[in-house]
Amino acid sequence: MTSPFVIVGGGLAAATAAEELRQRGYDGPIELVAAEGFRPYQRPPLSKEYLTGSGSLDDVFVHPEGWEAEHDVTLRTGVAALRIGDHVVELSDGSSLPFAKLLLATGARPRRLDLPGGDAREVRTFRTLDDADALRGALADGGRRVVLLGAGWIGMELAAAARGYGNEVAVIARGRVPLASGIGDELGLMYRRAHEEHGVVFRMDAAPTAIEVGADGAVTGVRLGDDDLLPADLVLVAHGVEPETALAETAGLDVDHGILVDERLRASAPDILAAGDVANPYHPVLRRRLRNEHWANAIAGGKVAASTMLDGDAVLDDIPYLYSDQYDVGMEYSGYPPLADGAQLVIRGDLAARELVAFWVRDGRVVAGMNVNVWDVNDQVQRLIRERVVVDTDRLADASVDLASLT
Ligand code: FAD
């Protein structure tokens, strides 16, 4: 009997790989082993429509109900260990599954809070559908005092959702400006203003030193370095993720800030690949490793992994892309963060009105771009980056100049 292609993970990279294998005509067995007891689902809606109640559970799942059965993809639960040399994964129920090819798409897990009181009741992280259901229940009646630790994309989306339900929200984070490490001070301040207009309070550069806990074991506040106390009924910890590499590491695969893979997503042992948040691939355009924690990368990685499993020659050379929705501010970002860091910022449009396209220009070329409440330009932004067009920054900033004319 043919050993199956085994895909470990219940997220977007795993589901996309399964779909792509079938689309490419692979008709052998596919075993998809998830950990959470759901069919594969995607995470972006969890902190947006699903959390705010404007989106349905159906929209969270990657495929409609019944897709796996229709496409002969067997769903299982929980991989406990991996035996590389034997080409076998051991499942949590004690059984073993041989594999012809193995894709690890185990994603990432939130960094935990390493502070006294950090494991108190109502100190939460946010990653899974269960987390989203629980948080929605906790926020929905409003009137709670929410302290958010972290001011990245997910933290800011959680802040918006919590305010939408009428809760008080205070954000504590390092640095002067939210999101600054990704998009710089000027654009980070634009987001800060949007949140402040909705009543969010920022305590930037304040260092939390302890979580205060009441007699009932629930959080009562966050103690700050200056001994100030921020009262809280709920503390949301949103200060980044770590790639979920435990399986790979224990099995002896090469791991360094993710499972090390080449541009075709091959790991350090034969017939084993990694894709999505857990992978740290070599990016052929940047000529360095670039681990990516975004939706589009999970899709692109799932597709490339399927190609490689079928001995195809696709490589993961996409321009990183992400999006975020907070209140009425929607944005798409495309580009290479390591190149954008310290590059010249060029704004086309109106920053105060939050309707603009921002470009990061290095050595005369666009290396990243972000459109905020301006739509249908992302293809052009990506084209400028991909074609390494040398731009006149005055024309780039001039909204009357068609981006397509910049060649
Ligand atoms: P995951 O989605 O993390 O899936 C990995 C799966 O593997 C999980 O289901 C996990 O349970 C499973 N697993 C782990 N260990 C095992 C094991 N031993 N056995 C079996 N299964 C295992 N990106 C954007 O670009 N835009 C956004 O707006 C955006 N919003 C986001 C909002 C939230 C709340 C979160 C958490 C992420 C968001 N992202 C966003 C990031 C994006 O969702 C991730 O990059 C994407 O989910 C990565 O997909 P993945 O399949 O690699 O990993």
Query: What is 143-180 written as a DSSP string?
Result: --EEEEE--SHHHHHHHHHHHHTT-EEEEEESSSSTTH
Domain topology for 5-109+241-309: FAD/NAD(P)-binding domain (3.50.50)
Ligand 1 contact, 369 CB (< 6 A): no
Ligand 1 contact, 107 CB (< 6 A): yes
**Given this model, what pLDDT does residue 326 score?**
96
Looking at domain 112-237, its CATH class is alpha beta
Domain ranges of the chain: 5-109+241-309, 112-237, 330-405
Measuring CA to CA, which residue among 362, 168, 147 is closest to residue 235?
A: 147
Tokens of 361: 């220009």
Closest ligand 1 atom to Cα of 279:
52
Ligand 1 contact, 323 CB (< 6 A): yes
**Do 5-109+241-309 and 112-237 show the same overall fold?**
yes
pLDDT digits (tens, 9 = 90+) for 325-373: 999 999 999 999 999 999 999 999 999 999 999 999 999 999 999 999 9
Assess contact for 123 and 214: CB atoms under 8 A. no
Q: How many CB atoms lie within 10 A of CB 391?
A: 19
Ligand 1 contact, 39 CB (< 6 A): no
Q: Are strands 101-104 and 5-8 parallel, antiparallel or unpaired?
A: parallel
pLDDT greater than 80 at residue 226: no
pLDDT range class, residue 227, cuts 50, 70, 90: confident
pLDDT greater than 70 at residue 301: yes
pLDDT greater than 80 at residue 1: no
Domain topology for 330-405: Enolase-like; domain 1 (3.30.390)
* Averaged pLDDT of the chain: 96
In our burial notation (b when 16+ CB lie closer than 10 A, e otherwise), range 52-75 reads beeeeeeebbbbeeebbeeeebeb
Distance (Å) from CA 344 to ligand 1 centroid: 32
pTM listed for this prediction: 0.96
Rounded CA separation 25/21 (Å): 7
